[in-house]
Amino acid sequence: MSQPTGLELRDVEASDIGTFHRHRLDPAAVRMAAFVGTGASDKAAFIAHWERNLRASESTHRTILFEGRIAGFIACFRWGGDLEVTYWLGREYWGRGLATGALRQLLRIVPERPIHARAAADNPGSIRVLRKCGFEVVGGDRGFAQGRGEVTEEVHLRLDRDPAAV
């Protein structure tokens, strides 16, 4: 499957974090993501969080560029011993195939398997991205979603295959 023209991943630069912060303040995106960390409104805390993440030796973080502009980020990190993937796109970039393209690129950079992912059960876009890239639903849960302020259904997915297969 072809990549969207103009899509590129690169290492995160300190100057990217301000754009990530603006994206993270979008109430519609926060509601869609549901399971988000606290404190995004505090820009200094958000930057400090990113600085810690970028120093983590077992994490891979990339800025998603589209036509030379920062569209979002994608990352793989350890959570409870498992390797997990996460991504965030500014809402103006939704529906263009960028998340799918970025995830496919990241899966070539991070060959370790399995990789886990989570999505709110009512977030069909994110679930579709993960399924297109070979992730399979392996379970679910209900938990408090900080981005919604309420208990929300969550889908758990896992990728066991080689990245060349996706």
With respect to residue 1, please indicate whether it lies within any of the assigned structural domains: no
Average pLDDT of the chain is: 91
Question: Which pLDDT tens digit goes with each residue over 85-142?
Answer: 999 999 999 999 999 999 999 999 999 999 999 999 999 999 999 999 999 999 999 9
With respect to residue 66, please indicate whether it lies within any of the assigned structural domains: yes
With respect to residue 143, please indicate whether it lies within any of the assigned structural domains: yes
**Per the structure, how many domains does the chain have?**
1
pTM, two decimals, is 0.92
Beta strands per DSSP E along 2-159: 7-11, 60-66, 69-79, 82-89, 115-120, 136-145, 150-159
With respect to residue 44, please indicate whether it lies within any of the assigned structural domains: yes
The CATH number for 32's domain is 3.40.630.30
Q: Is the pLDDT of residue 2 over 80?
A: no
**Bigger pLDDT: 135 vs 38:** 135
The span from the CA of 69 to the CA of 123, in Å, is 25
With respect to residue 2, please indicate whether it lies within any of the assigned structural domains: no
Peptide bond into 114 cis (omega under 30): yes
Domain that holds residue 97: 7-165
